[in-house]
Amino acid sequence: MVPILLFLYPDETPATITSITLTVAFFNALSGSIAYRRLKRIDFRSGLFFAISAIPGAILGAFLISYLSRSIFQYIFGAILLVISVYLLVWPTRKLNGGFLLRWQTDRHITDRQGNIHNYTFNLPLGMTIAFFVGVVSGLLGIGGGIIHVPALTQVLGFPAHIATATSHFTVAMTTFSAIGTHLVNGTFTNDIGRVAVLSAGAVVGAQFGARLSQKVTDVLIVRLLAAGLAIVALRLLVSPL
């Protein structure tokens, strides 16, 4: 949504764009969390820990956005998306290995509504550190953070893709809410309530369809679809300022 609004409203400041998209991301994440809760795929315990770290980062990012020009904003956003998309396209199922990943392990066992059993182990302190930086990017770029958080959960921490997607929605709902509050305090929140309401309504409905559709696709396909979408958006953002 960030690149779409950048193209549709060339005269709006990055701060205004991010205030709109963060609001939409909040309602999308909230709606998705409700749907994934019914599917029993959210790791609530881990999601709460991630949110505790991500919220301060989101507040910091929301403050920093006021100091970025529009062109720099687009270059940063595009570069981040392009790097992530290339990695995911090349290694959709590859997990990073290293001694630091094996420390402070937390075991999780989740059985979803379809009876699928998800057993995984991850480094909680590392996950909380990643969540903080995802929060910064979320508040700074006006994104929910899921496009970075989901790859981090699957590739670095070893979460199953379906659990990562659901848990990310839960974390993003809390993170974006805090960033929106920061924009309200800074006075950068958009006054165009009608535009925000229409976009948020679409995001709420879309999140329900997305959660249902996720039951019919494999983990690899979820990651590759995400990567392909990120690549298209990244290239458009990087070329646009030129």
Q: DSSP letter string over 189-226?
A: S-S-HHHHHHHHHHHHHHHHHHHHHGGGS-HHHHHHHH
* Tokens linked to 233: 């958006």
pTM for the complete prediction? 0.76
The residue among 11, 138, 154, 129 whose CA lies nearest residue 80 is: 138
Which residue is associated with the tokens 């305090």?
185
The pLDDT, as a whole number, for residue 240 is 66
The pLDDT, as a whole number, for residue 48 is 95
- How many residues appear in the chain? 242
Which residue is associated with the tokens 């989740």?
110
The pLDDT, as a whole number, for residue 106 is 84
Q: What are the tens digits of pLDDT across the range 64-91?
A: 777 767 677 778 778 878 888 887 788 7
- 3-to-55, 230, 236, 240 alpha-carbon distances in Å: 23, 11, 8, 10
Q: What angle do CA 61, 207, 10 make, to 5 degrees?
A: 50
Residues of the chain with pLDDT under 50: none
The pLDDT, as a whole number, for residue 242 is 58
State the DSSP code for 108: E
What are 106's strand-pairing partners? 122
For 209, residues 6+ apart whose C-beta sits below 8 A from its C-beta are none
In which region does residue 163 sit, left (phi positive, over 0), alpha (psi from -120 to 50) or beta (all else)? alpha
